């Protein structure tokens, strides 16, 4: 529940037409000051002042990404938090409100611009991804198995090294909230454009960050995925430790990567730091992170074999 002073402060912050419109927009996507100013047709300094008040009130989140800052509605937790209040306020706005309809139309135009920029980047790098995909088994087989390993609903999904956001999309139908972390600004742009097309985009978001040192609370996710990420990491064990740290008791980690191989050109031409991992190696990292490893799942390809290493966080006994 919310303390009375904080509740009153949040209600005062939201009780202004422009700020309520900002909350509604930021409930649909991560947006910059420039983009919000473009949608609302107001000056950037004016928009910045409104955003500052909403953030101070705890109903809007701000995340720094290089020279940009992205704003998004504070996520709710279902326990009467400020995020729940913010979502309730947005949900109370009539969908056919003329001003909201205009704002959403302008937001769609902004997201189309993002999608166009992302498509340029994607086309420029398509040859790179196609080269890799032809070396191993069809991704649909791997994705099918990932879904089988997590059959039930997921409250909070964290995807490390999210790339295009594909794994967030894969689990979106069974996830209440999904967050992707990546260090590449270009890939985050691709992910945002892709997730904007999802009917559940309000529940999915991406952030800039270092997967070896996550700016996230302990035990705050019940699913953590690392899909084709570890071979880029300078310290794979540190990434696994961070995954274990943010996983709540009983939660699951799914690590997807290559088994050991000798394709040296992947290191020289595609920035792979490690040429695959053995079952014993990954098992050791998982156990050190306080996780109970499951049975590895192998998908032989030509010439690369993909492995899924599942693990579960040990439940705390009362």
- Using CA atoms of 257, 162, 185, 188 in order, give the dihedral in degrees to the nearest 10: 140
Between CA 22 and CA 62 the distance in angstroms is: 13
- Mean pLDDT, rounded, of the chain: 89
In 3D, which of 10, 9, 21 has the Cα closest to residue 71? 21
Instruction: Identify the three-state secondary structure at position 148.
Output: helix
Q: Which pLDDT belongs to residue 310?
A: 98
- Using CA atoms of 123, 166, 110, 173 in order, give the dihedral in degrees to the nearest 10: 150
| Mean of pLDDT values over 260-274 | 86
Per-residue pLDDT of 69-119, as tens digits, reads 889 999 887 788 998 999 999 999 998 999 999 999 999 888 787 767 656
| Mean of pLDDT values over 54-78 | 86
Greatest Cα-to-Cα distance within the chain, rounded to the nearest angstrom: 62
Measured N-to-C along each axis, helices 185-195 and 98-133 cross at an angle, to the nearest 10 degrees, of 120
CA separation (Å) from 304 to 39, 126, 166, 260?
47, 20, 21, 8
Q: Which pLDDT belongs to residue 21?
A: 95
Domain boundaries, the chain: 4-105, 135-313
Q: Read off φ and ψ for residue 70, nearest 5 degrees.
A: -110, 140
Which of 62-66, 86-90, 145-149, 310-314 shows the lowest per-residue confidence on average (mean pLDDT)? 62-66
213 with 254: CB under 8 angstroms? no
292 bridge partner residues: 312
Q: Which pLDDT belongs to residue 121?
A: 56
Question: Which CATH code fits 4-105?
Answer: 1.10.10.10
pLDDT greater than 70 at residue 268 = yes
Between CA 37 and CA 295 the distance in angstroms is: 51
In 3D, which of 149, 167, 148 has the Cα closest to residue 157? 167
Q: Which pLDDT belongs to residue 272?
A: 86
Which of 128-142, 212-226, 246-260 shows the lowest per-residue confidence on average (mean pLDDT)? 128-142
CATH topology of domain 135-313: Rossmann fold (3.40.50)
Which of 61-65, 83-87, 154-158 shows the lowest per-residue confidence on average (mean pLDDT)? 61-65
């Amino acid at each position: 529940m919310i303390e009375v002073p904080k509740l009153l402060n949040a209600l005062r912050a939201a009780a202004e037409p422009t700020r309520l419109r900002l909350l509604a927009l930021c409930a649909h996507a991560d947006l910059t000051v420039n983009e919000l100013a473009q949608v609302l047709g107001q000056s950037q300094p004016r928009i910045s002042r409104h955003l500052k008040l909403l953030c101070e009130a705890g109903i809007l989140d701000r995340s720094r990404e290089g020279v940009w800052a992205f704003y998004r509605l504070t996520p709710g937790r279902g326990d009467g938090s400020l995020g729940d209040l913010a979502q309730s306020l947005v949900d109370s706005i009539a969908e056919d409100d003329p001003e909201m309809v205009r704002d959403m139309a302008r937001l769609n135009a902004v997201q189309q611009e993002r999608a166009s920029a992302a498509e340029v980047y994607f086309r420029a790098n398509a040859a790179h991804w196609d080269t890799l995909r032809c070396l191993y088994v069809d991704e649909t087989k791997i994705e099918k198995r990932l879904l089988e390993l997590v059959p039930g609903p997921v409250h909070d999904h964290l995807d490390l090294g999210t790339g295009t956001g594909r794994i967030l999309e894969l689990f979106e139908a069974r996830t209440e909230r999904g967050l992707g972390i990546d260090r590449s600004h270009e890939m985050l742009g691709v992910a945002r454009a892709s997730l904007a097309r999802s009917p559940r985009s309000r529940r999915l978001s991406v952030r800039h960050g270092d997967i070896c040192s996550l700016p996230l609370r302990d035990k705050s996710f019940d699913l953590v995925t690392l899909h084709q990420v570890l071979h880029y990491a300078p310290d794979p064990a540190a990434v696994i430790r961070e995954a274990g740290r943010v996983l709540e008791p009983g939660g699951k980690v799914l690590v997807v990567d290559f088994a050991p191989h000798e394709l040296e050109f992947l290191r020289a031409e595609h920035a792979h730091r490690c040429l695959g991992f053995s079952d014993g190696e990954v098992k050791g990292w998982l156990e050190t992170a306080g996780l109970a490893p499951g049975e590895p799942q192998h998908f032989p390809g030509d010439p690369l074999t993909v492995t899924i290493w599942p693990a579960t966080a040990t439940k705390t006994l009362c």
